[in-house]
Amino acid sequence: MSHAGIAQGSRVRILIYLLFAIQLVSMGAMEMSGPFWPVHLRGLTGSDSVFSFASIAVYVGPMLGIILTSAFWGRIGDRYGHKMMMIRALAGLSLTQLGLALSTDIWMILVLRFLQGAFAGYIAPAQAYGVSIEAPSRRARLFAILQISTNVGSLLGAVVGGLILDYATFFWINIIASGLCAVCTVVAAITLPDVPPVKKPSAANPAATTKATGSSGIWQASPLLSLLGIMGILLLARMLPQTSFSLYVSSIFEVSNSIVGLCYGLLALGFILSAAPWSRYFEHRSQQETLHRTAYIVVGCIGLTALAGITRNPVIFVIAYFIWGVLLGATTPVLMALISKTADSSQQGYVLGIAQSTSQFASIAGISAGALLSQHYGLQYTYLFVSVAYAIALLPIIAMRYWPVVMLANEVPPSD
């Protein structure tokens, strides 16, 4: 490799690490308030019905905002550049957190949380910007790195938020989060280079016109819809035990809250430790090879969640939960890389925006379905339902292994 190539590669690595840091800090800032919204809302209303609605809406609201706007913001990013969309999202996070800090009306808080998702969806433009500077062969690693930053930020943010709440009020959690997001906005604006948007293929380039040139072309003769469906079902399965997790562990195993927290954290730890190695493992494999090996990963998830559902030994449950987290590192980042490759470089924002909307919709569906199933059938069947959901996800994966569609993989070299 030439000296220029080495220098270019080093520059890209620095930018990817910078993206990692910005996403870790900004997502951590948002999660500082995450676990404590019910506590805050309880003090704002004496009505049990209003509190029950608000304690759900405060989490679902941002997800709905992202679902409704991610594709739109992605199109704007494809046209005018993804750095601008990152700055817009970070500034939106800062402003809405400031509004949340100053608001004491429960309905205004719910409106601001919805607007936070609608105007401040950061993850999709960060992914699209990363795709524009990273080598196409390393996309799986890119998505793994960015998702690791989100998970680490979530874990650290919850801890920091708890410490702040121990010594100050909820107001200061949001004020500090707003300040951190403002700092991230300035850092992104100053340090990240502008990457010009890729122009769509035109009739002047006959070779290019064979690729999908419009949003409708992305969906025609493409595995995009199937890949989104697979990712959605896998995320739904992952979110099924979300609402009943603490109740399940404490009631089934009769363990302390510290063990409950340990189990919850081990899932994220398994993902954090394994996502990058899994991405390197899948990096140079074709779509068919990737799906073939993903099928085995899902089979492993079926077995582990079934084991978690039938065991009454807390040690076995903890080990199964950690290994499940390790396997999860081979799902979403790898599938996101495949989804990214279904579109050319001029449509990355739109496609990744659609993927982000899909993930949010799947999360809402998983949380809702998990709550309903646990209420109707009982906590003891929680992880058996998760196992069944993974079995359903296995069916389209097996079908796609034999789908003859060739994925579109227009590649953009790293920017100079």
pLDDT of residue 259: 75
Q: What does the DSSP 8-state code read for residue 208?
A: G
Domains present along the chain, CATH in parentheses: 1-199 (1.20.1250.20), 215-407 (1.20.1250.20)
**Is-contact 279 333, C-beta < 8 A?**
yes
Q: Say what the pLDDT of residue 9 is.
A: 65
pLDDT for residue 3: 43
Distances (CA, A) of 310 to 51, 60, 317: 35, 31, 9
Confidence (pLDDT) at 413: 40
DSSP labels, 300-333: HHHHHHHHHHH---HHHHHHHHHHHHHHHTTTHH
> Per-block average pLDDT, block size 10, for the chain (416 residues)?
54 89 92 83 85 85 90 88 92 94 93 91 87 83 88 84 86 94 95 81 47 56 85 94 83 78 81 90 86 94 95 92 93 90 82 90 90 86 95 90 49 39
Three-class secondary structure of residue 241 per DSSP: coil
Look at residue 231 and give its three-state secondary structure: helix
Per the CB < 8 A criterion, the answer to whether 248 and 382 are in contact is: yes
CA–CA separation, 321 vs 346, rounded Å? Answer: 40
What is the number of H-type helices and E-type strands within the chain? 17, 0
* Contact criterion met (CB below 8 Å) for 163 and 308: no
pLDDT (0 to 100) of residue 309:
93
Q: Which of 242, 237, 226, 227 is nearest to 391 (CA)?
A: 237
